[in-house]
Structure 1
Amino acid sequence: MRPRTLILAALLAVLVGLLGFVLVRYLFQTYNPEDEWVPARPIPNTDVNPYGANFFLAREVELWKRERTVEMAQEAGLGWAKQQFAWAEIEPLQKNEFIDPVSGESSWTKLDQIVDLYRSHGMQVIARLDRAPGWARLPETRPETPPTDLQDYGDFVHAFVNHFKGRVQYIQIWNEPNIYPEWGEQAVDPVAYTEMLCIAYQRAKEANPDVHVLSAPLAITLGEPHPEPGKWRSMPDLDYLEAMYQAGAGECFDILSANAFGFDLPPEDPPDPDVLNFRRVELQRKIMERYGDDGKAVWFNEYGWNAAPSYFEDEALIWERVSEEKQAEYTLRGIELARLNWPWAGVFNIWYFRQTGQQYTPNDAAYYFRMVDVDFTPRRVYDAV
């Protein structure tokens, strides 16, 4: 080999070595061991801050209490506020009249303030739209009863989305229609709910094509028969979701909304059709996949464990109970489990942040889901989050 060729070969070897060194050094400097454990999240609406909570600001009279509530939520790192916007309070007296009958002011005024308060603290709103006004449903029926004309609800959804365009980008269509009394006194009806969902979806998209429509979360239940033969007073969530898909619901929502209560079981407890637990949502996910809907995210409408005191009788413990220490621990572990194993999971709205004192008393088991007491004392689950 000629001397010149030897020199060129040596230079080439040095160059290759330098490039290899630079590449190895770059990979070493940019390597993050956590990357191996965090799955890719290509499904839309999953690459989000998973921490949210349910709020009751529409029932809070004093402005300073609303402000302090949202401040504490921001301090805890919550990025989402699940807030009910009752149709009966927005359009209370007649169609297309958005007037508060008590104050005579626009019924949007207080809600504008609430939405702007959340947004000023960096929180996005998920709006739950339910509770039909008296003029829209049969006389002597509950507010949870669906309207006699589903187009009236669709028109309300259109008005809401149009009013909050650019400020509220996520809406939930009704709530827990598979159980009593969330569909009124009548038997629950997944086909009728699907019709409502599809009408609302179309009207929402007409008002704002960019709005995200969430299906109603289904209460996780093993069911309760209705007095009418062959019907359900409360229908098992898995059967109800199956019936929704059979009725064409897959074309009428962007995100599936689900509930995920842990009862007295740890978040790792495996899913079973006959067991109510946190991972039951995996069975709902299988239904989505079977109908080719696996490209959508699942968000959690109500999530958590109840920490009622030990003196509560068993029959009063609808959600079972755990200690406050376990409540805090399981809440974090559940979200961590989901982020590692469920690439389809999005926001977890903890049930609930703080109430106004009107919803539950210390004699109600539901009182003990709270993250913060009425007097703003934080509980263990707040500190953990």
Structure 2
Amino acid sequence: MHLANRRFARFRLFWAVTLVTLVCSSLPLVSSPLLAFPNLQQAPAVPANGVISADARVNLRGGPGANYLILAKLDPGAAVTVLSVNATEEWVRVRVNETGRTGWVAAELVQLEATPAQTVLLPTPTPDPHLNRASNTTGQLPVAAAAPAVINVEAPLSEAAVEMASGAASAPVAVTQPANMNVRGGPGTNYAVVTTVPAGTTLAIRAVGPGGDWYKVEIEGRPEAWIAASLTRTSGPLDDLPRLAVDEVPAPPATDPAPAAAVAAAAPALADAPPPAGGGFFAYGIQAQLWQNGEKGAIAGQVRDIGFTWVKAQVRWEFAEDQPGHVNWGEMDQIIDAMHGNGINVLFSIVTAPQWTRPDKPGTGGPPNDFNVFAAFVGNVAARYCGRLGAIEVWNEQNLQREWEGFPLDPALYMDLLRRSYTAIKNNCPSILVISGAPTPSGNSPVAVDDVDYLRGMYAHGLARYSDGVGVHPSGFAHPPEVTVQDWQAGRYTPPPSHFDHRSFYFRSTMEEYRNVMVANGDVNKRLWPTEFGWGSSSTPFPGYEYQAYITESTQAQYIVRAYLLMREWGWVGVPFLWNLNYSEGEMAMFRVAGRPAYEALKSLPK
């Protein structure tokens, strides 16, 4: 369904040169960050506690610079832990204490209680926005996804770690990327976790596992310590490392025979992925028709004109990869270039499988026979656009038969697809947000499963673990956004029996039901992402959209603005994407806002 200054209380970090003496004397002298606090006798080691000291909300970004993607908005006074500082000493990498999310904030906007001492600063790599994970054979993450390391020299350093810090590594080392990374007793997720290490931990690599995707690392007291290669940044030569054979690694633990899969093949072992970000932020978004549209720059101008910071673009996989391995990156490159270059965050909603992935099934509306093929595609998208793509929505309206052709409308099946996709995306670019596919509002019928029931099923099969935001598609039909199905006014906006007697016809009722499901499943710190919502207007509506005759273009503008304000007030909505900006054909054009009063009304929204 297509609904588809007051001046800042600022401080500055003052830096003094501190001579550092190490056991390994090859390390050069480095700068040590010191804050001129009158009562601070000595600067403590990383991490350091701090708070956001601005009087307005502050951007948490994906890298050390104002050109990086905005990950979240932090409130004044928000408590953070400073993890590192970039080489120019202008940006600090922080962890938000309330949500656990990490990102970069301008150093002058953080008031430290204690500061990093005796640190070795590693330069932040310059990201390559066109890096393709498929051609990366080193086991390294794209540099845009990697956090610059800060090594605390008060703790003992291995020779390899010192060499890496000095930029003259001759022994290979790995720097861990996830906030808390599992170290296992063997090369695979089927081995027991022997310990965990925080992000930025530097470990000497001693060997490579049989499959090339796990490193044996040196940890004191752990004779067998293994980490997933894809979740590290490496330095030093890897070619000379021993590649262990199967009989040279610990035998995998015995497991009970698994029952035969009823529909899909069992998943291969998946590398540990970072946990969902949780928490979140509110921002304004809108969907635009961008694929094969030569006016991408002009569209970016329109989005900026209305003051929005997010845009949704649908990527039909069937068009993007019409033959195995033949990916049309051109359109996606142009979309990212046009939007990111104008400071606009992008959500890719990736849908529709190519026929070659499901040759025994009709159409392209459903998923591929092998869910790993889709996961590989979205993983490559994440790798290519890491640092420039804000989020990926995994599929669309999977509770509707035409969007899930050839497969049962089973939330367990969709969650298998999401689990594999989430892991592939996060392993290639941890900073990209993964939004679950949005069910369409419906009741139960031969061609659909009730959207609220379907969402419950998604949670029963792991949704909380495999999403940063929950995609939804609330629709208001002809009803104002504040009215619920229980309201005495329900039904007065369209004459019975059309679109009035079920919860799914009411924007607020649907949104509140979705939130109730999240709360019931303990997922209270996550946000709903309405990746499609809106009201259409037409004096001559298309069949099935007769209710649009009761909405004037002026009313359309009022309802949209009021819905945005309602979602902002709730505090549990992430980025709502209005359907739509500029679609010009068929029933989709009845929802557009370009050239209508709604376009001007959107400019008035508080930003």
Match in the other structure for 2:333:
112
Among 278, 297, 300, the residue aligned to 2:530: 300
- For the residue of structure 1 that corresponds to 2:372, the secondary structure is helix
> What displacement does 1:139 show?
3.6
| 1:166-225 deviation line (CA, Å, top 9, x unaligned) | 110210000010113110154422110011000101111110122210000110111312
1:337 partner amino acid: L
> What displacement does 1:260 show?
2.0
1:343 partner amino acid: G
| 1:72-131 deviation line (CA, Å, top 9, x unaligned) | 12111111110012222222211x332xxxxxxxx1123211111011222100011111
- For the residue of structure 1 that corresponds to 2:386, the secondary structure is coil
Check whether the contact 1:46–1:343 (CA below 8 A) recurs between aligned residues. no
> What displacement does 1:297 show?
1.0
Among 277, 301, 308, the residue aligned to 2:506: 277
Give the whole-Å Cα distance in 1 for the aligned partners of 2:396 and 2:542: 28
Match in the other structure for 1:354:
582
Give the whole-Å Cα distance in 1 for the aligned partners of 2:292 and 2:582: 11
> What displacement does 1:140 show?
5.0
Higher relative contact order (CA 8 A, sep 6+): 1
Among 259, 262, 280, the residue aligned to 2:473: 259
> What displacement does 1:318 show?
7.0
Match in the other structure for 1:383:
600
Distance 1:318-1:302 versus aligned 2 partners, 3 A rule = farther
Give the whole-Å Cα distance in 2 for the aligned partners of 1:72 and 1:166: 23
- For the residue of structure 1 that corresponds to 2:533, the secondary structure is strand
1:91 partner amino acid: E
> What displacement does 1:45 show?
5.6
| 1:10-59 deviation line (CA, Å, top 9, x unaligned) | xxxxxxxxxxxxxxxxxxxx9xxxxxxx9x9977564342x211111113
RMSD between aligned residues? 2.3
> What displacement does 1:132 show?
0.8
Distance 1:337-1:196 versus aligned 2 partners, 3 A rule = same
Check whether the contact 1:298–1:346 (CA below 8 A) recurs between aligned residues. yes
TM-score (normalised: structure 2):
0.49
Match in the other structure for 2:247:
none
- For the residue of structure 1 that corresponds to 2:598, the secondary structure is helix
Among 362, 369, 379, the residue aligned to 2:591: 369
- For the residue of structure 2 that corresponds to 1:172, the secondary structure is strand
Match in the other structure for 1:131:
352
- For the residue of structure 2 that corresponds to 1:214, the secondary structure is strand
Check whether the contact 2:387–2:431 (CA below 8 A) recurs between aligned residues. no
Structure 2 unmatched ranges of 5 or more: 1-54, 56-74, 79-97, 100-277, 487-500, 603-607
Which has the larger share of strand?
2
Distance 1:241-1:321 versus aligned 2 partners, 3 A rule = farther
> What displacement does 1:315 show?
4.3
1:69 partner amino acid: I
Tell whether 2:261 aligns with 1:47: no
Among 52, 57, 62, the residue aligned to 2:290: 57
> What displacement does 1:316 show?
4.0
Tell whether 2:238 aligns with 1:238: no
> What displacement does 1:321 show?
4.7
Give the whole-Å Cα distance in 1 for the aligned partners of 2:392 and 2:549: 30
| 1:270-320 deviation line (CA, Å, top 9, x unaligned) | 2569322111111011111111111101111111111121x4377443777
1:47 partner amino acid: F
Q: Percent same amino acid at aligned positions?
A: 27
Distance 1:211-1:319 versus aligned 2 partners, 3 A rule = farther
Give matches, 1:70-149, under 5 Å: 70-94=300-324, 96-98=325-327, 107-139=328-360, 141-149=362-370
Aligned length: 315
Match in the other structure for 2:393:
172
Match in the other structure for 1:333:
562
Give the whole-Å Cα distance in 2 for the aligned partners of 1:319 and 1:155: 41
Give the whole-Å Cα distance in 1 for the aligned partners of 2:343 and 2:568: 22
Check whether the contact 1:261–1:319 (CA below 8 A) recurs between aligned residues. no
- For the residue of structure 2 that corresponds to 1:345, the secondary structure is coil
- For the residue of structure 2 that corresponds to 1:251, the secondary structure is coil
Distance 1:278-1:243 versus aligned 2 partners, 3 A rule = same
TM-score (normalised: structure 1):
0.77
Distance 1:222-1:210 versus aligned 2 partners, 3 A rule = same
Which has the larger share of helix?
1
